[in-house]
Amino acid sequence: MSLLDPRRAVATALIASLTLALAGCGTLFYPERKGQLPGRIDPGVAIADGIGLLFFIVPGVIAYAIDFSNNTIYLPSEAGAGIDATPLDDPADTAQVDALLASRGLPRGWQAEVVRVERPRDLGQALAWIEASRVDLAAR
C-alpha cells in the first residue's frame, strides 16, 4: 500500500473532516467565545457546522450541539456580558461602594436596597444571579 493509494487518501480526509466536525467548528475557530451570553447566531460558524451535515448527519448534529452548549455559535455582544468585576478591599465598607458607584455614574441610594456582595463559584452562578435580578426588577 503506497501513500498515494486513493482509498487511504479518502479515509484520511474523512477522518480529518469528521474530527473537525465532532469538535464543533465555533469551539475551534473562536475558543474565546466559550461561556458568552447567547445572542445573534454567527452565520460563518452555522454554515461550517452545517458542512458536517453533508458528510453524515451525526457529525453535523454533534457540531451544532457542542457550539450551542458552549455558546460559541453566537456573535460576541457589543454591550458585553453585564458583569463588572471590581476588586474591593476586604471587607468593603459603604464609603468604598458609594465611591465606586459615583465613579460609574450610578445611583448612590443602594443602602435602601438589598445588596449582595459575594463571589460566585463560577460563571453559571454569576449568570443565574443576573437573571434573578432581572426578574426581581421586572416584578417591581
| Digit-coded pLDDT (tens) for 68-103 | 888 888 888 765 445 566 666 666 677 777 777 778
| Residue among 71, 43, 55 at smallest CA distance from 18 | 55
Mean pLDDT of the chain: 74
Q: Compute the average pLDDT of residues 42-61.
A: 81
- 32 versus 83: the higher-pLDDT residue is 32
Q: Compute the average pLDDT of residues 47-63.
A: 80
State the Cα–Cα distance between residues 73 and 75, nearest whole angstrom. Answer: 7
- Does the predicted model carry a pTM greater than 0.85? no
81 touches 39 (CB < 8 A):
no
State the Cα–Cα distance between residues 7 and 76, nearest whole angstrom. Answer: 41
Predicted confidence band of residue 135 (pLDDT cuts 50, 70, 90): low
- 29 versus 132: the higher-pLDDT residue is 29
